Structure 1
Amino acid sequence: MSDALLSGARARRAAELDAADDLAGLRERFTLPEGVVYLDGNSLGALAATVAARLADVVTEQWGNQLIRSWTEGDTPWWTAPERIGDRLAPLVGAAPGQVVVGDSTSVNLFKALVGAARLAGPGRTRLLVDAATFPTDGYIAASAARMTGLTVTPVDPAAAAEAMGPDTAVVLLNHADYRTGRLHDLPALTAAARAAGAVIVWDLCHTAGALPVGLDEHGVDLAVGCTYKYLNGGPGAPAYLYIAARHQSAFDSPLPGWNGHADPFAMAPSYEAARGVARGRVGTPDILSMLALDAALDVWDGVTVEAVRAKSLALTDFFLDCVAAYVPQGAVEVVTPAEHGHRASQVSLRTEDASGVMRELISRGVIGDFRAPDILRFGFTPLYVGFADAERAARTLGHIFG
């Protein structure tokens, strides 16, 4: 089949898939530039259409007119935003209300979680297992938390993490998905293994929350953290979140006992008494503008299930891989993302020479993905606004660059 016929057949197939897609209309809930294929939602999600107007109201009315009264007055007072928005986010990670608090960065929340986990684990355990291929900041934070708690960091391959867990393991830190390759790790099995070993497990959900079901409560996860500016579309620098399972909340001892996490914050007491429930995960005054931008962005999930998003994600990435195989000359790229659905998150990563240059050329042609050193092209598929025609165009453009 000629190249023209080949691309025509796949373009028609993309149109058929888009026409049958029950989630296709969700793209209208986002503000996206015309003519651009955006496959970098695993770094920064697109702008939800409701955010600009909501933030304008926050600035002009809540801040401008209501002033400090907005902290405590109205239907959605600022003071309760971390827990209220946490409860909105909770179903997207499979958590019941009262277990997710929003605020601070992922790094800060991870530090709280790791030190808190070590304190939950108790004495006699000496090791902190850490995903050997983790995002660098997670490794830095883990090393600092280990120094503070007297633990020894042991890097592990998540595929072999269960075998590495033992009676000396205090804490296990794993990424639900590898940020370079898009490999999805087995959260249910690894959580069960940690529990069997008597260890406390902490999951980093940055590359899965909002793209696939997580099931924190269902699988008995102890603690989890994640950002909100990727698949949750909260905006640049949007606050992260901390999940503390209800069974651990009364014993969770945060290493950052800020006034916002105090049982009686306005008493200004010289000694610290932690708040009840997940609020003890709070530290300082929350960033209200970013917090309420996230709140508005979560409106795009109205009437949408994570299960439907996952089904489309797998269909999109399957179709993209098929198009890459058809359009890109053999040997030009190596697919490093697993083919098996059970091991694939919502991205496709390709290894190639001069990956940085190839990505710059793709972006110049209107296909925005990203590059990870030294040789990885990453394409993140956010099913809320990415369609099959986008996937076909991205693969075809990549083929033209190598052609």
Structure 2
Amino acid sequence: MTTAESTRIVIVGGGTIGAGAARELRKRLPAGEAELTVIDRRSYLTYQPFLAEAAAGSVEPRHVVVPLREILPGCRVLTAEVTGIDRDARSVTMRAGDHVEEIGYDVLIVGAGSVSRTLPIPGLAEHGIGFKTLEEAIYLRNHALSRLDRATTTMDPQTRRRLLTFVFVGGGYAGVEAMAELEDMVRQALPSYEIDPGELRWVLVEAMDRIMPEVSPRLANYTVDVLRGRGFEVRLGTQLKSAQDCHVVLSDGAEFDAGTLVWTAGVKANPMLAHTDLPLDERGRVKTSATLEVPGSPGVFAAGDCAAVPDLTKKDPSATCPPSAQHASRQAKRVARNVIASLHGRPLRPYRHVNAGSVASIGLHKGVAEVYRVKVRGFPAWAMHRLYHLALMPTAHRKARIAADWLLSLPFRRQVVATGEQQNPRREFVAASRS
């Protein structure tokens, strides 16, 4: 129950920062001291580390998302798109459909997250598939399986080669995990199709001279060896130059047709920030101090992928924290505690986090991990990846559902069916109504 004197705390974004900060504030603030409002165009939090498994059918897609209203009791959750922030008026403008509304704040936390960072490459917008949202993961799953359906029915060898060629651009965690999990799914589905495993072509394109910069070069090289051992083409130091008409042109001179092009080459701050009066850096991120405050903006804080948070663990004073789930989950708690400190007149503490390590899956029963400089690979690393992210998954019943999905996959094969109409469910009805 709030009162007229309650502090209005508005949180822009319902992702790791927004949901995490709201939960921490609700837990630590006395009842009635603040009115918490969370604004996001989606009504749920997506746990992104499980997107690859959701795309590959290892877990049910609905189990990797959590309704915000479920995990934020006592908070006001508004399903709307933020279109502007006015620091002078201390207000946030949002749009839900055709309806535009303004809401005032006393304290503002900006956790608007990020979107895929794309480049002006011919054909990318028309044929590329992103991999940041649950909707994109489901689409990719249906798309990949539909390529098998079409390849089985075509008599043209050139069309068949194109349909069975899968290209992933970006060798970070997202790209490697998505490609490895999807290849597992497709390979498991092949006995149901008239397709030889040797007909499949998987290509990973990375502009840097190594993949997965989050781990040591030794583990990155091991990952490349594992991928190549599974038949993947790993092209390092290579860029995508064109993808017009599904014809892939790479900077190393290679050219070929591809039926699937997945873009996981980095992220950029939410472009919505350009329509606010917040101070931004050259990469479009909100400038913050080490305490996550926005300079010259009393009562305004920012964190996560959309914020340029100083990295105090680096000697370079211009270094900022990378956009990772590990930083976001910890910044969410720090920004909430600093908001409480500011309300109670206590000193704010700077955000400082030394990376404890990284874990990644590179397909079923295969993984790499580096925890406190201890390097692990193979099945133990894969198990660590699952256990670590299962522990971080919000709510006990979501953890239980994901664990149940994994257990059921032991005696039973994963479901391999493309529900293509899911992308346009009204198409058949519209066609029938016009006939």
Give the TM-score range, shorter chain.
under 0.3
TM-score for the superposition, normalised by structure 2: 0.22
TM-score for the superposition, normalised by structure 1: 0.24
More helix by share: 1
More strand by share: 2
